[in-house]
Structure 1
Amino acid sequence: MTQSRNSRDARQPALLAARYDDRTETTDELAALAETAGYRVVDELTQTRPEDSSYQFGRGKAEELARRVAESGVETVLVDNPLSPQQVYNLEALAPDGTRFVDRHRLVLDIFAERAATKEAKLQVCLAELRYELPRVRQEIRLETEAANERRTVEGMNEKEHRRVLDLRERIQRVEAELDALGSVGESRRDRHREAGRDLVALAGYTNAGKSTLLRRLADDLDVAGEGEPVHPDEATTARAADRLFETLDTTTRRVSTEGRQLLVTDTVGFIRDLPPWLVDAFESTLSAAYHADVVLLVVDASDPPAEIESKVDTCREVLDGRTDGTIVPVVNKVDRCSADEVEAARAAVAEFDADPVAVSATEGTGTDDLLARVGSAIPTAEATVDVPNTGETQALLAWAHDHGTVADVDYSRGDAERVTVHFEGRPGVVERFLSKAETLD
């Protein structure tokens, strides 16, 4: 039986290599990515210096890397930096034949490709891979032919080379068109939810911050340990929670009820540092759940060291800044693992988003009532009081109001009960419709 690429990779040893500008950086995240992708790390090499255009590393360190590869017998080197085709070519020339150099972006794409389950997620991964390949194909063409002195026709390429680039561009356009169509469906779905009185909340944050566990804690039909069944057809059937990077790639939506309001809470793909703009843009469709939510819960792992929290918050800001329509509410998670001082340090790291972040433990349930109260105060809300005849039509209006918002008070005590006073709260657009319906009753 032929082994799949996944099973083969699961047993494959790898060597980690990283060049950093700052001595404080570590390979911890690269190692976690490697583990998530199914690699077994056997050695690592790091260097602190400016980037070398030929090798990414200095020439001497690149030669040391090649020796380490030969000594360890590994066939894959995972590099915590983006590599140009020229750098890959030069590194491969130093290393034993058959050595693969996989840069950080390619490694993340490989993980995404394995985790994508829905059509939308698979299209987004495809778009990201095509955008990753396009500049590399162009540069590879230049490297392969610059010494051939061949006649060039289109943008410095011959016809065959131009065809390769044009094919990639056409494929990108086709995938973008499919994603745009799905995006229109998503926008229509959001409009329908809001017209029905549902408020949209998104969980966002660095990967492995505990978003999926928090969703399980908040959801009406799930608990943290077990599974549940969806109540609304737009809700996904599971909300997996695991201590792995990018456990969530496809968005997962669950219903959460609080003080008479219906929330649809969506768990989104986790962020990671040094995501290039083309990769963020490729996942526009998935990230739109955060961009267009009424409230974004920015989840932070309080158990991380303060400097790491600040770095991760910076990454989240880069992805979300200027793109979100709703209010960002920072959530300091995993407080059960922290001292009081550590929790305060985490709260201070996210204070730029909100002066009073909410501290929770998704695993133990601590602080979730405060979190839901904060969400309730942040979602768009209007209210209205009407005095209407006590008729069958009014009872139908009350039933509609209960389905679409919060009926805060119903008073039948006026006069001989021929009239009813109703106080209604809900989304501004829903309250406007409530008032319009009430006007037709007199």
Structure 2
Amino acid sequence: MKRAILVKRNDPRSDERKNELQLSELRELAHSAGYTVVGEIVQTRHPDHRYQIGRGKAEELALQVRDMDAEKVIFHNPLTTMQIYNLSETCRREVIDKFQLILEIFATRATTHRSKLQVELARLEYELPRAKAVISILKKEERPGFMGLGGYENSYAQDVRNRINRIRDELESMEKDRDSLRRLRHAKGFALVALAGYTNAGKSTLFNSLVKEDVMVKDMMFTTLVPTTRSLDVEGRSVLLTDTVGFIEDLPHWMVDAFRSTLNEIFLADVVLLVVDSAEPPETIRRKLLVAHETMWEQLQEVEIVTVFNKTDMLSQEELDGRMLALGYLAPNPVAVSARTGVGLDALKEELRRHLPRWERISISLPLSEEGMSMTAWLFKEGVVHSISYGDSIDIDLEARDGVINKARSFAKEHAMVP
């Protein structure tokens, strides 16, 4: 594994506990990207415009890089192009920030054409405001005079803009196709349910437990980059369940925009299962729930949310009750489960069933004939038959979407089974 040193500058009045959580998350991200962390440097001060950390601390970092034979330096703080250049010159190693690290992870996890386009778009969106500075730095020795490379810099930036526009057009076209597919699924009676939540909350494990499949699960961040959809029966209702990319704190707008079509799997769902790792400390859960709500808030005003307190097998009932009580204001419709052991999954399906889009429920009589039996078989397939009895007619207690109800009524009327 590649050897890396992590660096974090804390603001003088920042919360100590939050700083610790952010550094811990940076460690997890580095691990997910395949790095071995061989050193850490933390400094509390206001940002230095040249190095982000102070000049003396940057020189200390350079010594640690050499002593630990580190291959890369990873900052938690966003870095400007000039800061990256100065730090790289001082340390003689590649220097990146948290967002570049996330892009590295995304690039290794992207397996479909769409996800690769999204990663490239995010990289270009990150690069665009820095394009001029990058070219200035790389070419400064070749310039005949101040701003002598202006034409070349502007050309490079325009090339980046053009590529961004082409990728956006292609992704938009793909999204139109997916919208058509969503509408078709709704017309066929499928409710759309999305798993959402902070990265590494156990969404993929829960997905596997519900649909009895084997989507890749690892104890690392962003294992799910390409959404996976499977059918699920929820007390007779046909549901399409989608596992989605996890959230993370302080994602910049350019990264959210790049993965907008992936997030639409959440935004266009009928119900969102918001998954949290209940084994984490309450303050950590609270912070991650806030990130999830902030990410989804504008788009999910009318969408039903069920909060899934996962990994309950890792704490006592008393600890679980305390967390669910303390976090109730951020956790609508809470359900406690262990995706690993299967405890609570039946209760989760019951809660999910309550929040699916409502279907009309009617009692209807069909003729006891070959046509009536054929219609009955179709109703079993397309709706939920709560009870059925056979006598002079076929009497059915049916719950279904509007299209099915209307067709059943028309059939019964045509065969003189209704007034």
TM-score, scaled to structure 2: 0.90
Q: Deviations over 1:189-213 (max 9, x none)?
A: 2122222222211111111111111
Question: Is the 1:360–1:367 Cα contact (8 Å) retained in structure 2?
Answer: yes
Question: Is the 2:305–2:333 Cα contact (8 Å) retained in structure 1?
Answer: no
Match of 2:218 in 1: 242
Q: What's the offset of the Cα at 1:396?
A: 2.8
Counterpart of 1:104 (choices 95, 98, 102) is 98
Distance (Å, rounded) in 2 between the aligned partners of 1:433 and 1:49:
70
Match of 1:75 in 2: 71
Match of 1:298 in 2: 274
Structure 1 position 162 matched with structure 2 position 180: no
SS at match of 1:321: helix
Distance (Å, rounded) in 1 between the aligned partners of 2:379 and 2:290:
42
Shift of the 434–203 alpha-carbon distance from structure 1 to 2, 3 Å rule, reads farther
Q: Deviations over 1:267-303 (max 9, x none)?
A: 1111111211111111112121111111110000011
Comparing 170-179 and 426-435, the one that deviates more: 426-435
AA of the residue aligned to 1:57 = I
Comparing 15-24 and 47-56, the one that deviates more: 47-56
Counterpart of 1:114 (choices 101, 104, 108) is 108
The structure that is helix-richer by fraction is 2
Q: Deviations over 1:307-344 (max 9, x none)?
A: 11111111111211121352111000001001223212
Counterpart of 2:349 (choices 372, 376, 379) is 372
AA of the residue aligned to 1:393 = E
Question: Is the 1:200–1:264 Cα contact (8 Å) retained in structure 2?
Answer: yes
Question: Is the 1:394–1:441 Cα contact (8 Å) retained in structure 2?
Answer: no
Q: What's the offset of the Cα at 1:55?
A: 1.9
Match of 1:358 in 2: 335
Match of 1:259 in 2: 235
Structure 1 position 210 matched with structure 2 position 184: no
Match of 1:14 in 2: 4
Structure 1 position 423 matched with structure 2 position 373: no
SS at match of 2:233: strand
AA of the residue aligned to 2:234 = T
Match of 1:49 in 2: 45
Distance (Å, rounded) in 2 between the aligned partners of 1:348 and 1:147:
67
Question: Is the 1:381–1:425 Cα contact (8 Å) retained in structure 2?
Answer: no
Q: What's the offset of the Cα at 1:350?
A: 4.4
Shift of the 372–40 alpha-carbon distance from structure 1 to 2, 3 Å rule, reads same
Match of 1:29 in 2: 25
SS at match of 1:148: coil
Question: Is the 1:271–1:316 Cα contact (8 Å) retained in structure 2?
Answer: yes
Counterpart of 1:384 (choices 357, 361, 364) is 361
Distance (Å, rounded) in 1 between the aligned partners of 2:75 and 2:359:
52
Distance (Å, rounded) in 1 between the aligned partners of 2:144 and 2:317:
64
Structure 1 position 395 matched with structure 2 position 373: yes
**Which consecutive unaligned segments of at least 5 residues does structure 2 have?**
none
Match of 1:61 in 2: 57
Match of 2:318 in 1: 341
Note the aligned Cα RMSD (angstroms). 2.3
Match of 2:83 in 1: 87
**Which consecutive unaligned segments of at least 5 residues does structure 1 have?**
1-10, 152-156, 223-227, 229-237
Shift of the 274–355 alpha-carbon distance from structure 1 to 2, 3 Å rule, reads closer
Q: What's the offset of the Cα at 1:115?
A: 0.7
Q: What's the offset of the Cα at 1:437?
A: 5.2
Distance (Å, rounded) in 2 between the aligned partners of 1:380 and 1:119:
33
Q: Deviations over 1:248-267 (max 9, x none)?
A: 11111222212111122111
Question: Is the 2:270–2:303 Cα contact (8 Å) retained in structure 1?
Answer: yes
Distance (Å, rounded) in 2 between the aligned partners of 1:428 and 1:244:
43
SS at match of 1:384: strand
Counterpart of 2:35 (choices 33, 39, 43) is 39
Q: What's the offset of the Cα at 1:389?
A: 3.6
Distance (Å, rounded) in 2 between the aligned partners of 1:59 and 1:341:
49
Q: What's the offset of the Cα at 1:440?
A: 4.5
Distance (Å, rounded) in 1 between the aligned partners of 2:287 and 2:85:
32
Q: Deviations over 1:102-145 (max 9, x none)?
A: 11000000001001111221111111111111111133346666
Shift of the 39–254 alpha-carbon distance from structure 1 to 2, 3 Å rule, reads same
Q: What fraction of aligned residue pairs are identical, expressed as a percent?
A: 41
Comparing 195-204 and 319-328, the one that deviates more: 319-328
Match of 1:6 in 2: none
Distance (Å, rounded) in 2 between the aligned partners of 1:265 and 1:313:
21
Q: What's the offset of the Cα at 1:424?
A: 1.8
Q: Deviations over 1:368-418 (max 9, x none)?
A: 1100000000000222323444443333322222222201223444xxx1x
SS at match of 1:297: strand
Question: Is the 2:307–2:332 Cα contact (8 Å) retained in structure 1?
Answer: no
Q: What's the offset of the Cα at 1:354?
A: 4.4
Comparing 371-380 and 160-169, the one that deviates more: 160-169
Distance (Å, rounded) in 2 between the aligned partners of 1:136 and 1:113:
20
Comparing 113-122 and 366-375, the one that deviates more: 113-122
